[in-house]
Amino acid sequence: MIKENINTVLENIDTACKNAGRKPEDVCLIAVSKTKPVSMLLEAYDCGMRQYGENKVQEMCDKMPQLPQDIHWHMIGHLQTNKVKYIVGRTELIHSVDSIKLAEEISRESCKKNVISNILVEVNVAREESKFGIMPEDAVAFVEMISRLPGICVKGLMTIAPFVENPEENREIFRNLKKLSIDIINKHIDNVSMNVLSMGMTNDYMVAVEEGATHVRVGTGIFGERNYRKE
Ligand SMILES: *Cc1c(COP(=O)(O)O)cnc(C)c1O
């Protein structure tokens, strides 16, 4: 089932790229494996999947040693400063930087470990009260501020769009994140690139790709529905 699901998602990404005149190789599919057992990640691995997204530090760290070393791990969930030390140097990209305090901690830990951590700034484009993320109007100043920290490199932006019945309803949100990234590029801030736009989930990744997503985070569409009841 996982194999068919991955193939379907990749085909849909292809279609969305065609619609937008983009190249499929410019879109990275991240398999969001939160709550799913290692056996399912391995099944995806055997289908060629190498990018995995987790939203909890503990779960990510538990899974890492049980899986092949050539996997790239993405931290996509809200990150507490006291957990930063467990993932710095072990993740491809931290998608969810949403406070100065968090950026400072990632910087401190990265310097200690002598690594550069690639990060994205999470922006609450939809202005949802329940969501984390910097407000769009604060994003430029925020990026300017954290760009001066040693040991971290701002690679782009991330957003979580609301759950909607019709993915078209989120098109404006994705478009606004893209626009914001262009505003930031035009500021020519040292040590900042905007090559990464992490947006789009199972329900709306095609629209996100049409609007410029470079990284889509797909969980349910690959591994099936999540069951939280046991936890
Ligand atoms: C769970 C999660 C996803 C994947 O959601 P699906 O709807 O299952 O594809 C993507 N991004 C973040 C930040 C998540 O927490």
CA–CA dist 95, 133 (Å, integer) = 11
CA–CA dist 218, 74 (Å, integer) = 12
Q: How confident is the model at residue 228 (pLDDT cuts 50, 70, 90)?
A: confident
Q: Could you tell me how far CA 50 lies from the centroid of its own chain?
A: 14
CA–CA dist 45, 209 (Å, integer) = 23
Q: How far is the CA of 16 from the centre of ligand 1 (A)?
A: 19
Quick one: pLDDT at residue 27? 98
CA–CA dist 33, 45 (Å, integer) = 12
Quick one: pLDDT at residue 229? 62
CA–CA dist 93, 198 (Å, integer) = 10
Residue 157, SS3? strand
User: Contact, 80 vs 105, CB < 8 A?
Assistant: no
Q: Which two tokens stand for residue 229?
A: 């009841």
Residue 14: phi, psi to the nearest 5? -55, -50
Q: Tens digits of per-residue pLDDT, 46-94?
A: 999 999 999 999 999 999 999 999 999 999 999 999 999 999 999 999 9
- Residue with token string 């399912």: 40
Residue 170 confidence (pLDDT) above 80: yes
Q: How far is the CA of 219 from the centre of ligand 1 (A)?
A: 6
Q: Tens digits of per-residue pLDDT, 5-41?
A: 999 999 999 999 999 999 999 999 999 999 999 999 9
What is the biggest distance separating any 2 CA atoms in the chain, rounded to whole angstroms? 48
Residue 188 confidence (pLDDT) above 80: yes
The DSSP letter of residue 52 is E
Q: Average per-residue pLDDT in the chain?
A: 97
Provide the residue type at 156 as one letter: G
- Residue with token string 């990510």: 60
The ligand 1 atom nearest the CA atom of 205: 9
Q: Return the percentage of the chain with pLDDT > 70, whole number.
A: 99
Q: How far is the CA of 190 from the centre of ligand 1 (A)?
A: 31
Domain 2-223: give its CATH superfamily. Answer: Alanine racemase (3.20.20.10)
* Residues at CB less than 6 angstroms from ligand 1: 32, 34, 55, 76-77, 160, 201-203, 217-221
Residue 231 confidence (pLDDT) above 60: no
Helices 2-20 and 38-46: crossing angle in degrees, nearest 10, is 60
Residue 230 confidence (pLDDT) above 80: no
Q: Tens digits of per-residue pLDDT, 90-131?
A: 999 999 999 999 999 999 999 999 999 999 999 999 999 999
User: Contact, 89 vs 113, CB < 8 A?
Assistant: yes
pTM score above 0.75: yes
Q: How far is the CA of 189 from the centre of ligand 1 (A)?
A: 30
